[in-house]
Structure 1
């Protein structure tokens, strides 16, 4: 009886210990596929495609993301990102936490984003806020047909109107 109680009490500790020691090694070829400057062309929102700031906003500049090696890091899966949002410039960290070769989907964590603090028209400030919020929430990426997708992808094969939510970037020229 005491053995069962001790095992029951120690199980959570064993589980925590095993989680803290897992280290995901990312394939360096995956990071080379996403390195570069990309321009946001569309947002895929479940079952519809929208422009970066919505069809009603016509005065938005290109929203970009540039992913590059981080010379301050010794790990190949820790990258740096920067870019232009609807009004301000931003930068932050980008860590590839895993990659599934079968699906072509990688997992990632975007660190805290810093940005300049210029003000702009209300519709562009709303676009920028939405962009930053979505970018901070997203945890997956893939390069498909020469386009970078960052977001949350549909994984189950059952038919539904929710095809995921993600940004669609094209390589900058």
Structure 2
């Protein structure tokens, strides 16, 4: 399975907003004062992302209610709520739709016959596993590295980083 660039960029942009709001990454010229909204230009530069593509992504995050915007010369984007209340799964759904689909259908909506009769169960289990990890990890946990136990156990598995393709 592939994580689309759009989803990855959305998470990276949100991590930058969370870091700025936490005071971890003051933007140039901020001088330790309360963070002001962050422009798409600064988000793109901070993460090395394509500006135009990121502009569309941040718009989708705004429409999903994950960020708020302010117009004008000192405008930009901020998180709509604390980073601890935003699940990584919410970010991915905002820009990429459901976490797991099979040919455009949700896993529980699929139906197979014959030797593939039980394949839908595997797709449903995959979706549940993805939800546990992505919905069980907040933006704040990802920012600080204080990941949930389930995620730590999975990443510490000796097989976790072995290529199987």
TM-score range, shorter chain: under 0.3
Higher helix share: 2
TM normalised by structure 1 equals: 0.24
Q: Greater Rg, structure 1 or structure 2?
A: 1
TM normalised by structure 2 equals: 0.25
Higher strand share: 1
